[in-house]
Amino acid sequence: MAIVEVRDLRKEFGGTTATDGINLTTRDGEYLVLLGPSGCGKTTLLRLLAGLEQPTEGDIVIGGQVVTNLPPRDRKIAMVFQSYALYPHKTVRQNIVFPLAAAHIPRPERAEKVSWAADILGIERLLDRKPRELSGGERQRVALARAMVREPQVFLFDEPLSNLDAKLRTSARDELKDFQQRVGITTVYVTHDQVEAMGLGDRIAVLNAGRIQQLGTPEEIYSDPANTFVATFVGAPPMNILRTGGQLLGFRPENLLPLEWSGKQDGQLVCRLEITRVENLGSDHYVYGTIPSLDPEAKVISKIPTTVPLVGTPNSSETYVVARDKLRYFDPETGERIP
């Protein structure tokens, strides 16, 4: 296991700044997720860690050693990509053994390591199959086994679940988390999928435009976003943001509730919601509307479990409330959170 440290890391491609002064320190054995929209620099940061790109400025330290100028093979990292990149004509066993053979590990030791990884991942019975005879989830396990046998200090994952369908994705996510908890290897995991980030990460680094916007636990990122970018990027539907009284007011859709069943509380925000549309998503109703008394321009959403009575219909207006401790305030100029 190892701590990964990134110091003032900047990478420019011609005129494009892909990462712009990134500072980051993982904990030992931590699952750190890099989350952000397309083009924010996630993959570039991961490739810099792997040694597949050279930084324009800054340093990378893995396990106490400065590795900035070391080639990928000397960094004690293992990288698992989207495509898994298994060799189609080799068996699972040959795929897993390949990096060991390439590193001239003696044969008996190779066999031992393959058994060890296959056992941890539960793929012993697949060892003589070819990749095309495997499901997407099984292929993922093989790719993990192949990454594991080198006994890396750090795992790097680049959207490894993005090729799987929605159902398989959920079970594969579950397996990945389980795997990480068993092996406890420091992991840096790139995704643009916030559900994946929230489910997998011990901590999440939210990136935008090559910079870290916030680094925190899923709970911190969700409940106490550092700025309006994080507030609206994380959460579906996103945080409601209204421009009112010279500041930006934010609250999560699930915290905008009908007064009728939320009840009166000290300091709560009380408002009239002009309802434009109601959607039933199975587990929740989404009630869309505006709050003209606060910000006539901003569209807001209330998310209410379908297990409780729906209050309001399109083209009606109802009294809704937000509890005081659920209100967040932001600077209207910078978008930064006001404590």
Nearer Cβ to ligand ATP (12/284): 12
- Per CB under 6 A, 40 contacts ligand ATP: yes
CA angle 158, 15, 188 (to 5 degrees): 20
Min CB(36)–ligand ATP separation in Å = 6
Residue from 13, 87, 261, 329 touching ligand ATP (CB under 6 A): that is: 13
Written as six digits, the tokens of 36 are 């952000």
| Stretch of 40-48, 175-183, 198-206, 277-285 lying at the interface with ligand ATP (CB under 6 A) | 40-48
| Stretch of 23-31, 35-43, 194-202, 223-231 lying at the interface with ligand ATP (CB under 6 A) | 35-43
Nearer Cβ to ligand ATP (13/261): 13
Number of Cβ atoms within 10 Å of the Cβ of 93: 21
**What percent of the chain is helix, strand and coil (3-state, nearest 5)?**
30, 35, 35
Residue span 41-80 as binding mask against ligand ATP, x where in contact by CB under 6 A, dash where not: xxxx------------------------------------
Distance CA 146, CA 140 (A): 10
Do the Cβ atoms of 287 and 278 come closer than 8 Å? yes
- Per CB under 6 A, 18 contacts ligand ATP: yes
- Per CB under 6 A, 39 contacts ligand ATP: yes
Nearer Cβ to ligand ATP (19/302): 19
Q: Which residues contact 200 (CB under 8 A, 6 or more apart)?
A: 31, 33, 173, 176, 177, 180, 189, 191
Distances from the Cα of 180 to the Cα of 167, 177, 189, 277, angstroms: 20, 5, 11, 43
Interface residues with ligand ATP (CB under 6 A) are 13, 16, 18, 36, 38-44, 192
